[in-house]
Amino acid sequence: MSSFPHRLTGPRRRIATALGVLGAALALTVATAPGATAAPRPAPDRAEVTPGNAYMGVGARIHDDAPAEDPSMSIMAPTDGVQGIDVSHWQGAIDWASVRGAGTQFAWIKATEGTGHKDSRFNTNYTAAYHAGVIRGAYHFALPNASNGATQANYFASSGGGWSRDNLTLPGVLDIEHNPYGAMCYGLSTTQMRTWINDFHTTYKSRTGRDTVIYTTSSWWNTCTGDWTGMSTRSPLWVAHWTSASPTVPSGFPTWTVWQYTSTGSVGGVAGDVDRNQFNGSRDRLLVLADNT
């Protein structure tokens, strides 16, 4: 993976109305995609999130690690290039054929959290995305204070996080970010956190043959791992930074492989807000990542 660029952010903060009715109407015109309808229910923020219900970016929202999104941001959002989404049960039923038809080429789907929670829609989403021709993979929401990295990697690999060279499966993702249930760094020291991440990666690779993609924010990584460089040549980086400008890359990584640039995107086939992501390269390079070639 060392030859791959390292780049990599989540669901649903309600759009502020500071720009007034005109700004909101403009954002709606630009960002609304065909086939999208009102969200079946909003994903929780702050104290509303309960164990098993975390999703990519929830920690950033709770801890204000990501900036509040401006309704006008969608005008300049990086919706060119190779586009993807990430989802969990909070998106409800997804029409994956419409997702692919809207130009979305890849997706990561929540599989597990800790060692006792499997996303209720994972099996449906993972299979349906495959049959729609979406290059997809699974992600694990890490709870480093619940059990060690090896234990959680084994649970993930056994519960949907595996990998096969079928031209449509991406390596699994370790979603490690602000703790949505408590202390930012889960009560671990920087040394303990490095050990936890390394154990997860080593175990996952021994189970699947693939390096783990790391999803995080610059703030969390720099604080909780102490600017650790130990994963920079092993794990592609998926960085969460909700902005229309270039993302801020955590210390220790040379660049990003995937960039989560908004948590309030809109894509045909998905009801309501969905995280949108850009891959740092062409579709051919995305397939290289998927096929480990």
What is the rounded distance in angstroms from the CA atom of residue 291 to the CA atom of residue 293?
Answer: 5
Cβ distance 275 to 69 under 8 Å? Answer: no
CB neighbourhood size of 3 (10 A): 6
**At which residue do the structure tokens 């959002």 appear?**
77
Beta strands 258-265 and 135-141 are unpaired
Set 177, 211, 273, 275: catalytic member? 177
Alpha helices in 102-175 (DSSP H): 122-131, 149-158
Report the chain's terminal Cα–Cα distance, integer Å: 10
Check if 95 is active-site.
Answer: no
Check if 177 is active-site.
Answer: yes
**At which residue do the structure tokens 């740092």 appear?**
280
Cβ distance 121 to 128 under 8 Å? Answer: no
Task: Single out the residue of 273, 275, 270 nearest to residue 259, CA to CA.
Answer: 275
Task: Single out the residue of 20, 9, 14 nearest to residue 273, CA to CA.
Answer: 14
Residue type, 45: D
List residues bridging with 118 in a β-sheet. Answer: 112
What is the rounded distance in angstroms from the CA atom of residue 212 to the CA atom of residue 193?
Answer: 16
What is the rounded distance in angstroms from the CA atom of residue 160 to the CA atom of residue 27?
Answer: 36
Set 65, 69, 119, 175: catalytic member? 175
Check if 86 is active-site.
Answer: yes
Set 65, 70, 86, 211: catalytic member? 86
Q: Render 164-190 in DSSP notation, one character per residue.
A: --SSSBPPPEEE--S-TTS-TTTT--H
| Active-site amino acid positions | 86, 175, 177
